[in-house]
Amino acid sequence: MTRQTFLKLAVAGIPVAGARAQQAAPKPNPDLGFTDTPMLPDLPWHVHDPARPHPQQIRPSGTPGGPPSDAVVLFDGGDLSRWNQRGRGADAGKFVDARWKVGDGWFEVAPNTGDLLSREKFGDCQIHVEWSSPTEIHANSQGRGNSGVLIMSRYEMQVLDAWDNPTYADGEASAIYGQWPPLVMPARRPGEWNTYDIAFEAPRFDGEKLVRPAFVTLFYNGVIVHNRKEILGAMVYRKVATYTAHGAEEPLMLQDHHNPVRYRNIWVRRMNGYDRPEA
């Protein structure tokens, strides 16, 4: 019996076998919970159950927007070694090393060279991305500062210059592209840094059949713009989105939509369910 198991039984007032059981069982410690309380509905736990698993301890960042200790850091200002690029031209159909431009703490879409995909794959997750649209303006609507954060390489949270740039509502910055406009538009000016903080629940498939759609929550510059919104399907232009079955984890993708949008400080945390067994 581990010390942890012993303590759990002891705090619950359950007699423990072995040498320690010869001693008087310690009284239940109300600081650590109760077993004389009602059961929670459809759960194996009492209210305040002392045996309920405790969450894993992680370290938050000391910097606002910085990665917590359990995050997978995809870009911290260094290089693009954690990314692949979808090849174009002679490399069409292949993945190549990332060729986007890396600057001082940021990187930038190299227009018309191909999308960037994380080498690591993710399903249910929390994502932090910072982006900034170009200050040189050459076009309007979907041609100005267009990129995108495509979760699982499919579900696009639109990136666009949203400053005095009229376009269709479900194509504005932070829209679930082609599906839902943001609830409000907290855009910053071109050249200023924007943040997306995303909580994403991956769709579930049984073979080819969709059994649960994806849901997304998005904070844009700290403002909630999607609140556990159901996603209709993979990003598509001028059509109604639909689902096609895919893996439980897929790469995070940043879109090359021909505009030199900048990115920095990108990290992802896998999001697991409640009551995970303690390590």
> To the nearest whole angstrom, how small is the minimum distance from the Cβ of residue 237 to Mg ion?
10
User: Which one, 122 or 131, has the nearer CB to Mg ion?
Assistant: 131
User: Which one, 84 or 255, has the nearer CB to Mg ion?
Assistant: 255
- Distance in angstroms (rounded) separating the CA atoms of residues 82 and 120: 7
User: Which one, 237 or 274, has the nearer CB to Mg ion?
Assistant: 237
- Distance in angstroms (rounded) separating the CA atoms of residues 180 and 232: 10
User: Which one, 173 or 199, has the nearer CB to Mg ion?
Assistant: 173
> To the nearest whole angstrom, how small is the minimum distance from the Cβ of residue 135 to Mg ion?
19
> To the nearest whole angstrom, how small is the minimum distance from the Cβ of residue 158 to Mg ion?
5
Binding site for Mg ion (CB under 5 A): 146, 148, 255, 257
DSSP-based three-state secondary structure for 141: helix
With beta carbons less than 8 A apart as the criterion, state whether 223 and 79 touch. no
3-state helix, strand, coil in the chain (%, to 5): 10, 30, 60
> To the nearest whole angstrom, how small is the minimum distance from the Cβ of residue 57 to Mg ion?
38
With beta carbons less than 8 A apart as the criterion, state whether 109 and 261 touch. yes
Amino acid letter at 151?
I
Structure tokens at 105: 């703490």
User: Which one, 122 or 155, has the nearer CB to Mg ion?
Assistant: 155
> To the nearest whole angstrom, how small is the minimum distance from the Cβ of residue 172 to Mg ion?
11
Structure tokens at 102: 């890396």
